[in-house]
Amino acid sequence: MVKISFQQPAAAGLKPEKEAAAASYGAKAEILLPRDVEEQPLPVQNRRALSRLCYLTMILMLLFLGLILTSMYIYRYFSVTGSAPAYLENVFRCGVIYEDHSYSQLREQLELHEDVRIYLEEDYEQINVPMPHFGESDPADIIHDFQRGLTAYHDIALDKCYVIELNTTIVMPPQNFWELLINVKKGAYLPQTYIIHEEMIVTEHVTDMEQLGSFIYHLCHGKETYKLKRRTSRRHIHRRAAKNCHHIRHFENTFVVDTAFCQKL
C-alpha cells in the first residue's frame, strides 16, 4: 500500500528563500552599478586647457589686427602717392635735360644729374651735384636752410664754402620741392628745359661758423668759407668775366640754375 502525500509546508517554506536570494541579488546589482553611467563634472585640467585655448585665440586675433593696422600705416605714409611724414628724409635722384646756348649760337641739349635730400621737419634741402660730363660746372654740395634763411655752396673742386642769403624766388621750399619731385617721378609733370644764370661776388671771409646754423656748420666746418653778394641776374656772362668765375649748375625748381662764383676784379 502506497501512501502518497504532499509536503505543502516545505514548498511554502522555499519561497521565502528564493525571495531572499532575489533580494540579495538585487542588492548586489545595485551596489555593483558602474559609476561612469552617472553624470560627472568636467575635470579641472580640461577647463584650464579650454581657457588657455581661448586666451591664445584672442592674442592671435590681436596680433593679426595689429599687423593689419601697421601695414595700413606704412602704406599710407611711405607710399609714393601718399603724404610723407614730416620727419621723413626723402631722397631723390634727378636727371634733367635742358638747353643752353649761352656760349654758342646753336642750342645744345645737356643733362644734369643730382641727388636731392629733403628734410621736411627741419625745413632744409641738401643737393649733391656730381662732376658733370660736359665739364662746364664744378661738383658741389648745396644746403638751403629755410629756418636760417641761408644757402651754402661747397665747391668740391676748390674745397671752399660760399654762403649767401636764401633766394626764395628761385629755390622752392622743401614741401613744394618734394611735391614737384614726386610728380616728376610719377611722370605727371616734366620740368621746363631752360636755364637761368645768377652771378655772385666773393666778399669777406667767414670766421664765426656757428652763426650759420648746425646744417651749414657741418657742411663747411674745416673749409675756407666766404660770404657772397648777389649781382643783378644776367642772361649771358661774358667770357672775360667767366675766367675768374667757377660755375655750379643745379636743379631746385622747374628750371636749371647756373650759379657763378666770381672774384673781385
Report DSSP letters for 186-213, one per residue: HTS------EEEEEEEEEEEP---GGG-
Beta bridge partners of 262: 201, 245
Q: Which range of residues forms the domain containing residue 216?
A: 90-262
- pLDDT, position 10: 47
- pLDDT, position 260: 93
Q: How far apart are CA 60 and CA 115, in angstroms?
A: 44
Domain contains 74: yes
Residues of the chain below pLDDT 50 = 1-14, 22, 26-29, 33, 37, 77-87, 235-242
- pLDDT, position 76: 53
Q: How far apart are CA 132 and CA 111, in angstroms?
A: 8
- Tell me if residue 38 falls in helix, strand or coil: coil
Same domain, residue pair 222 and 189: yes
Same domain, residue pair 157 and 63: no
- Are 164 and 228 in contact by the 8 Å Cβ rule? The answer is yes
Element (H, E) at 250: strand 245-251
Beta bridge partners of 125: 118, 144
- pLDDT, position 105: 52
Domain contains 2: no
4 CB-side CA count, 13 A: 0
- pLDDT, position 68: 87
Which residues make Cβ contacts (< 8 Å) with residue 35, sequence separation at least 6? none
| pTM for this prediction | 0.64
Q: How far apart are CA 193 and CA 196, in angstroms?
A: 10
The residue with cell 646744417 is: 215
Same domain, residue pair 162 and 52: no
Same domain, residue pair 68 and 106: no
Domain contains 243: yes
Q: pLDDT tens for residues 130-155?
A: 988 766 789 999 999 999 999 999 99
